[in-house]
Amino acid sequence: MIIVLIGYMGSGKSTLGKELATVLNYRFLDLDDYISEKEQASIPIIFKKKGEIYFRKKETEYLTEVITSENLVLALGGGTPCYGNNMNLISEAKLVKSFYLKLSIPLLAKRLFPERQSRPLISHISTEQELLEYIGKHLFERTPYYIEADITVNTDHKSKQEILEALLVHLI
């Protein structure tokens, strides 16, 4: 089985994905890390040197490669479900269960503001208010894709353990 974690940047996909993979004795893969490894460049460098369109094409190519794995917890980039045919790839793949990790806009902004320089899509934002507005607009555009996941897990004010338990309930 492949467990795919979907959600906005900062929603905990990688952190929770590693924990879930450990509990299940599965392999963990962060798609952004996989892309960086294959392209031999960080995501910010890929965006800067080759642009978002190039990145999105590569993202779909590498998603197609890994979606056929077994015993894998896969954390997608925040935009992955929203481009190309990516949600169809996920929903049509065999033995895949997808989860949307839903975190509120204020909590996303609180998490992301201190690390915005390492995230190409928000590196230009200078105030928390601007970030709140940006996330709100972005989530409005992305939510229709995110909610195509098999299961939505609201993660607001929940501990890692509570979220893991919510995920595991749907895997048994």
Whether residue 15 is annotated as binding a ligand: the answer is yes
Angle between helices 128-146 and 105-112 (to 10 degrees): 120
Whether residue 78 is annotated as binding a ligand: the answer is yes
Whether residue 13 is annotated as binding a ligand: the answer is yes
Rounded to whole angstroms, how far apart are CA atoms 91 and 84?
14
Whether residue 60 is annotated as binding a ligand: the answer is no
**Burial (CB count <10 Å: 0-12, 13-18, 19+), residue 74:** buried
The one-letter amino acid code at 73 reads V
Whether residue 126 is annotated as binding a ligand: the answer is no
Whether residue 7 is annotated as binding a ligand: the answer is no
Rounded to whole angstroms, how far apart are CA atoms 29 and 157?
25
Whether residue 10 is annotated as binding a ligand: the answer is yes
Binding residue ranges for Mg(2+)? 14
Which residues does the annotation place in the binding site?
10-15, 32, 56, 78, 119, 142
Residues making up the annotated binding site for substrate are: 32, 56, 78, 142
Would you list which residues are annotated within the binding site for ATP? 10-15, 119
